[in-house]
Amino acid sequence: MEEKELLPHLFRTEYSKITAVLCKLLGFEHLDIAEDIASETFLSASELWGLKGLPENPAAWLYTVAKNKAKNHLKHRAVFQQKVSVQLSQAATSELPELDLSARNIKDSQLQMMFAVCHPAISLESQIGLALRVLCGFGIEEIADAFLTSKDTINKRLLRAKERLREENIAIAFPATGEIPNRLEAVLRTLYLLFNEGYFSASHDHSLRKDLCLEAMRLTFLLTEYEATNTPAVNALIALMSFQASRFEARTDASGDTILYDDQDTGLWDNDLVQQGEYFLNLASKGTVASKYHYEAGIAYWHTIKADTPEKWENILQLYNLLLTVEYSPVAALNRTYALSRANGKEAALQEAKKLSLNDHYQYHLLLGELYAGVDNRAARSSLEKAMALSHSAADKKIITQKIQQLTETD
């Protein structure tokens, strides 16, 4: 891999590791310093590698430079007095604490940072933003693209979140054993939303969308490697992500336009990810309590079955019924109604859809347009026009326009 390709790749994979270990050493109050050291490390790489060529082991080179820069910061900044001087006097030595960048400490630090970043003291949006920045190494502009907002907004959001975590004196450490279940629930919610931010993003930046999903999966995998966090819900979430990611390449065309499920090229589905999902879903079944991730993983599993059979849609329908008893959401209710149409026909689904009365949701009118098509094309066109008026996404508007054109062609 050439330098111009390797350095961005290493930034994505190593920046967050270095930052997490540094922040664990220095504390959340010095998160900015940790980020600065990590950034300066990569700046040195960009300057020196272009002149001297790639080192034999680029990742090890980065770790060495990060360690040296950390020592310099500890020597010359107030952090040295606050964090290290007492230890030095007690040890009667001039040596500084070693920055432990072993594989084990990196994993521990990232996992502990995950619990800190997903603390309920800050909002969900801030949790996701900090996770993208600190745990995934995303730049401010990339995060702004993911949220479809400005860099200034993201900077302010992250600044407020960091200040809040400092005020609450949040430690970068594993929660007490009794606290892990509740704290883990917040972590899973953030990772779930992080994955969805990529999978259902309105952005057409393919690499960003895919990277969001892959980072969410990487962090969820970390949870499976520790006994206290390797729970059925965690396994269900990684199963859900695996099933969803298996169809990633088939969801958009070369222009970035969305390809609806029924029109996807099933040859592009990733069978390895499907098998991975099945493996983790089997592990998830060992628990006694089913989470929303269990039901969503089951729904996603049935969507990887290529055959279009009544059994498939009946299973999806029943899983949506269970999901809605655990956690109601308008989107799940709409998806359940679509599954009902595939299992029992459009007439039954129309009766259920009218009961929802989600008149302010463009997806509701889009569903009605789908259900009325071929039954009452005038009502279908009217529903699609309402969906068009309520939608703010160019991608969705394009799909709605295509559906209206299809209705015109069949009249």
Q: Which domain holds residue 38?
A: 1-101
The answer to whether 407 and 380 have CB atoms below 8 angstroms apart is yes
Q: What integer pLDDT is reported at residue 82 of this predicted model?
A: 58
Is residue 94 assigned to a domain?
Answer: yes
pLDDT at 91: 44
- Asked, for residue 349, whether it belongs to a domain, the answer is yes
Question: For residue 390, is it within any domain?
Answer: yes
For the chain, list residues with pLDDT below 70.
1-4, 77-97, 201-208, 411
| Among candidate residues 271, 262, 368, the one with its CA nearest the CA of residue 307 | 262
Asked if the structure places residue 346 within a domain, the reply is yes
Q: Tens of pLDDT along 342-376?
A: 999 999 999 999 999 899 999 999 999 999 999 99
Any domain includes 179: no
pLDDT at 71: 86
pLDDT attached to residue 87: 53
User: Which of 67, 101, 135 is the C-terminal boundary of a domain?
Assistant: 101
Does some domain include residue 254? no
Q: How confident is the model at residue 209, as a pLDDT? A: 77
Tens-digit pLDDT profile for residues 286-300: 888 899 999 999 999
* Contact predicate 314/340, CB 8 Å: no
Residue 149: per-residue pLDDT:
85
Last residue of a domain, one of 66, 101, 136: 101
Specify the CATH number for the domain of residue 48.
1.10.1740
Q: Does 163 map to a domain?
A: no
Give me the number of domains the chain comprises: 2
Is 110 among the domain residues? no
- CATH number of the domain where residue 374 is located: 1.25.40
Which domain-ending residue is among 101, 127, 143? 101
